Amino acid sequence: MTISSSLNAGVAGLAANATRLGTISDNIANSATNGYKRVETDFQSMVMSSNGGSYTAGGVRTTTNRLIDESGSLVATTNATDLAVRGRGFLPVAQATEVAAGNGDAQMYLTTTGSFRTDADGYLRTESGLMLLGWPANADGTIPTYPRDTDDGLEPVQINVNQFSGEPTTRMTMGVNLPATETYAGSSGDPLELSVEYYDNLGRSESLQIEFTPNVPATGTSNEWTMVITDSASGGTVVGEYTVTFNDTRADGGTLDTVTTVSGGAFDPATGMIVVTTAGGPIEINIGQPGTSSGLTQLSDSFAPLNISKDGSPVGNMTSVEVDENGFVHAFFDTGITRTIYQVPLVDLPNPNGMVAMDKQVYMPSPESGSYFLWDSGDGPTGDVVAFAREESTTDVASELTDMIQTQRAYSSNAKVIQTVDEMLQETTNIKR
């Protein structure tokens, strides 16, 4: 019985070391595979004998474990949409074949790295057919509130490289110096004109015509101007008229004193804003707060537009796409504007090693891995997203080769046990002779 159990133990040892050799060969074969997580073989002894009596060899059995929570080194690339996770967390992806089938929402898989590029339909996908998933942004670039314990809000990141985009103007800053000499008695009283370009809701160039007319007194100086604003998109309609008075004291000379609204939006002295309603909608104009020199001023004898700025942009072509460390997908246009179009979350689970390993270095959550949660990159326990980077395999070839030597010796030793048992059984057979 003991000899027979020794034979069984030797066979079990051969099978166990063959399994270990299989994991070693898999690790070495994938030593250059980006995102590969090495597999480890664990040995557990089997005890068949109880206390007392003859001893029975139990042998050994193995379990394999893919160390998904191990992170490989990051290497730089030249592709802006090569992504890798630095730290804890996984990128959500979907199989392109499932997305193309259109049978409801595609199954969410997880990976730690991928070389994503746009396909013929504009989807960000890898050569192996993995599509990056993200939350779509609103038109203004904000991300709506999505549930974090489900993948229902995720959709494949699709980029229209031929997309046009423009942004309407909603705010202006008007820093203009008006000549104080024009409000002296005997001045000509000729109006001073200024044209400020803005962009309407369709990205077209329009302009606000601003006319400053000095109030010329009979004697002395008035320090008062009439500001009339007309809109070219409305056929020159007056959208705002204001009486502007400047301070001439020693401490605050040349700064705004009062602004009286004749028509249009009221002046807010707390913010220095007036609001005019153009054909495309309201525009806030900052003319400065009373007592400050950040907007309209009245000094010396020159008419000088010193600081005219505005938001908005004309229609432009998308030129590139990048993903930042917080997972936001930004589209860049040739007009200089940037728009957020998606956010890619990072998925975390209590036990990453409990996930089911699939082809192409992707993993699927399972009951053993625990419930997942979708975090903002860099928030909670997760790391961040690194663009222009790929994660290397976690295989250490030198360590695997050392393990291979040990496995080979162990396999040879178990084979020697079987050979020895065979010789002992042969001797037992020879007793009858």
Q: Is the per-residue pLDDT at 107 higher than 60?
A: yes
Set out the domains of the chain in order of their start, with CATH numbers: 2-67+394-430 (no CATH), 74-165+316-391 (no CATH), 169-311 (2.60.98)
CA-based end-to-end distance of the chain: 22
Backbone angles phi, psi at 351, to 5 degrees: -130, 85
- Going 82 to 86 to 92 to 96, the CA torsion angle's sign is positive
Helices 2-29 + 397-430 axis angle, to 10: 160
Place of tokens 């609204």: 261
Which of 361, 420, 364, 433 has the alpha carbon at shortest distance from 39?
Answer: 361
Token duo for residue 128: 């192996």
The 10 Å Cβ neighbour count of residue 302 is: 10
Q: Structure tokens of 364?
A: 């699927």
The CA-based angle 167-171-175, given to 5 degrees, is 130
Count of helix runs (H) and strand runs (E) in the chain: 3, 31
Instruction: Assess contact for 388 and 77: CB atoms under 8 A.
Output: yes
Q: Is the pLDDT of residue 52 over 90?
A: no
Tens digits of per-residue pLDDT, 151-161?
888 999 998 76
Number of neighbours of residue 267 by Cβ within 10 angstroms: 21
3-state secondary structure of 253: coil
Strand partners, 331: 321, 339
Q: What is d(CA 173, CA 162) in angstroms, rounded to the nearest whole number?
A: 33
List the single range of 22-36, 87-101, 194-208, 306-320 with lowest mean pLDDT: 306-320
Tell whether the torsion through CA atoms of 160, 166, 171 and 177 is positive or negative: positive
What is the DSSP pairing of strand 171-178 with strand 297-298? parallel
Distance CA(419)–CA(410), nearest Å, equals 14
Q: What percent of the chain stands above pLDDT 70?
A: 97
CB 349 within 8 A of CB 371: yes
Mean pLDDT, residues 261-285 taken together: 94
Asked if pLDDT for residue 433 goes beyond 70, the answer is no
Residue 105: pLDDT band (50, 70, 90) is: confident
Q: Report whether 295 contacts 256 (CB < 8 A).
A: yes
* Tokens found for residue 153: 């809000």
CA dist., res. 202 & res. 166, Å (int): 7
Segment 110-153, tens digit of pLDDT: 999 999 999 988 899 999 999 999 999 988 889 999 999 998 88
Q: Are 312 and 169 in contact, with CB atoms under 8 Å apart?
A: yes
DSSP reduced 3-state for 143: coil
The pLDDT value recorded for residue 163 is 64
With a cut of 90, say whether residue 414 has pLDDT above it: no
Looking at per-residue pLDDT, the higher value among 268 and 421 belongs to 268
| 109 three-class SS | strand
**Cβ contact 210:236 at 8 Å:** no
Q: How far apart are CA 177 and CA 212, in angstroms?
A: 11
Nearest-angstrom CA–CA distance, 227 and 263: 11
Q: Give the per-residue pLDDT at 383.
A: 93
CA dist 61 and 14 (Å) reads 10
The tens digit of pLDDT for each residue in 358-408 reads 998 999 999 999 999 999 998 889 999 999 999 999 999 999 999 999 999
Closest by Cα among 242, 250, 249 to 296 = 242
What's the whole-model pTM score? 0.73
Structure tokens at 311: 């938001």
Check if the beta carbon of residue 221 is closer than 8 Å to that of residue 185.
yes
Instruction: Output the average pLDDT for the chain.
Output: 90
Q: Where are the alpha helices (DSSP H) in 82-241?
A: 96-101
Residue 355 is encoded by which pair of tokens?
A: 């996930």
Residue 318 has a pLDDT of 79
Alpha-carbon span 259 to 289, nearest angstrom: 10
